Amino acid sequence: MSLKRDSGPHPRRKNFYTIPFSDDIAVRAYSDTNPHNWKIADLQKGLVLVFKKAETVGEGTGFGLPILVYSDETCFSGTSRIHASRQDNHWLVVKEFVMDRIQRNSFRNIKLKNHRARTLVGHLSRLYQEHPPLRFLTLKKLARNMQIGTSFVETKPVGRVAVTYRIGKKEIQVEADFKKVEKNGLRKIFMLNEQGFTFFRRYTDSTDTLLTDGRIGAWNEVLGEWASIDSTKNALGFRLWKKDEAVLRRGQEYIKDSLDWVGLDYEISPKKARFGYKIEIVGL
């Protein structure tokens, strides 16, 4: 396994690492906010899967991206520092995420400081999360048609999350360190593991559940011991396992030119100082 540190022609694509698993499959780690796809264009990403030199992440967050949910705000990262090195028979990528972005909804390009407008968006969000039979994407399309969008604005950092990716022949060991984040008001921690839905469209798990496309759902708990997301056109996929100290959920959303992600995300107690898990790359 060799490490490629590339410098692309665009000035914002000047610091990323590509670590191949095989001739066709690799993972890529950026120090900036690439890839710049749709709503989360200005946020940091975790590891991005690459298949035959094409990134498969879509609007997904990549593997191993932290999000902090406080009582009054949800915090994301727009800034990071990254380092990669060879360690015995694997590569070690350490990415420190500065948690310096907060989410702001917008209505006709106006920030939602108006209480009634923000209440409307909150109501749509609750319907979206709590009532699966209501056809999630219909609500998302309604919000888009009303020109309700999302932006992420810079704020005073609430801390830093150091995520270590230990990349072996067929798997990625992820370990996140939350010791340097503000604990006051912290309600939940998420570690997101997402790629693009236009590439990965099938879900399976250890209970013999098989779901494709919209049947995967938007925010459903995984009941099996493991769950896998893969492509229906080739053998490439990724698998994660349930952890006693976390809730594992599957999710998928697709709206052309707006939403394009599928993944397996952990919800973690805010009391955790560290959290580790394994991602198996299927199809190697």
Predicted pLDDT at 98: 96
Structural domains of the chain, count? 2
Range of the domain at 210: 4-100+155-282
| DSSP 8-state code for residue 10 | S
Q: What is the rounded CA–CA span in Å between residue 255 and residue 260?
A: 7
Do 45 and 164 lie in one domain? The reply is yes
- Find, among 188, 202, 154, the residue nearest to 271 by Cα: 188
By the 8 A CB rule, do 57 and 193 touch? no
Do 197 and 278 lie in one domain? The reply is yes
By the 8 A CB rule, do 248 and 264 touch? yes
Predicted pLDDT at 277: 97
pLDDT-based confidence at 14, cuts 50/70/90? low
pLDDT score of 68 more than 60: yes
- What is the token pair recorded at 119? 């209440």
Predicted pLDDT at 258: 67
pLDDT score of 145 more than 70: no
Most confident of 4-18, 64-78, 164-178: 164-178
pLDDT score of 162 more than 60: yes
pLDDT-based confidence at 49, cuts 50/70/90? very high
We report the CATH number of the domain holding residue 240 as: 2.70.98
Predicted pLDDT at 199: 85
- What is the token pair recorded at 48? 């991005």
237 Cβ contact list (under 8 Å, min separation 6): 200, 202, 228, 229, 230, 231, 281, 282, 283
- Last residue of some domain: 154, 188, 218? 154
Residue 128's DSSP bridge partners are none
Report the chain's mean pLDDT, rounded to a whole number: 80
Do 238 and 160 lie in one domain? The reply is yes
Predicted pLDDT at 34: 83
Do 255 and 130 lie in one domain? The reply is no
- What is the token pair recorded at 8? 């692309």
Matching residue, tokens 């708990």: 221
pLDDT-based confidence at 2, cuts 50/70/90? very low
The pTM assigned to this predicted structure is 0.81
pLDDT score of 256 more than 80: no
Do 48 and 128 lie in one domain? The reply is no
For the beta carbon of residue 204, count every other beta carbon within 10 angstroms: 19
Do 130 and 260 lie in one domain? The reply is no
Do 172 and 136 lie in one domain? The reply is no
- Higher-confidence position of 142 and 74: 74
Do 181 and 245 lie in one domain? The reply is yes
Q: What is the mean pLDDT of residues 175-180?
A: 96
Predicted pLDDT at 6: 44
